[in-house]
Amino acid sequence: MNEILSMLYLWLKAAHLIFVIFWMAGLFMLPRFFVYHQESAVGSQEDAKWIEREGKLRKIILNPSLVIVWVVGLLLAYNIDAFSQGWFHAKLLFVLALSGYHGWMIGYSRKLASGERTMSDKGLRLVNEVPGITAAIIVILVIVKPF
C-alpha cells in the first residue's frame, strides 16, 4: 500500500487541498445563509427556499467535502508518517474542532428548518470567523511545522 500511496502522493495532496477549499467555502457560506434565513418568516415561501438552499449546500458541498478531506488527509498522514510528528497532532486537533463546528452548523440548520431561531445575527456573524481563524492556524502548522 505504501508504494501505491507514494505514487499517488501528489495527486492525493492536490485532491486534499481542492476539497479543503470546497469545505471551507461551504463553512463560510452556511452561516451567511443563516443570517438571511433568520430574516424570513417561519413557514413562508422564503423560509422554504432557505431550507432548500441550506440542504443543497450541506448535501452537495459540505458533507462530501468533509468526508473526502478526512479520508485523503489520513492517507497522506499515513504516507508521510505524520502521526509521529508534533505539528500533525496540533493540526489534527484543529481539524477535529473544525469538524465539530461543521456538525454544529448542520444542527443549527435543522433548528432553522424547524422554525427555531436561537442565535442573533451578530452571533452568527461572529461564529462565521471560526473557519477562517482555524484555517490560518492549520496552514501555519502544515507549512511552518513549528514543532
89 marked as part of a ligand binding site: no
Which pLDDT does position 11 carry in this prediction?
97
Say how far apart CA 74 and CA 96 lie, in whole Å.
12
16 marked as part of a ligand binding site: yes
pLDDT per residue rounded down to tens, the chain (147 residues) = 788 988 999 999 999 999 999 999 999 999 999 999 999 999 999 999 999 999 999 999 999 999 999 999 999 999 999 999 999 999 999 999 999 999 999 999 999 999 999 999 999 999 999 999 999 999 999 999 999
Structural domain harbouring 72? 2-144
Three-state SS for the chain is CHHHHHHHHHHHHHHHHHHHHHHHHHHHHHHHHHHHHHCCCCCCHHHHHHHHHHHHHHHHHHHHHHHHHHHHHHHHHHHCCHHHCHHHHHHHHHHHHHHHHHHHHHHHHHHHHCCCCCCCHHHHHHHCCHHHHHHHHHHHHHHHCCC
Residue 25 grid coordinates = 467555502
pTM value is 0.93
Q: End-to-end CA distance of the chain, in Å?
A: 28
Which pLDDT does position 17 carry in this prediction?
98
For the chain, the domain total comes to 1
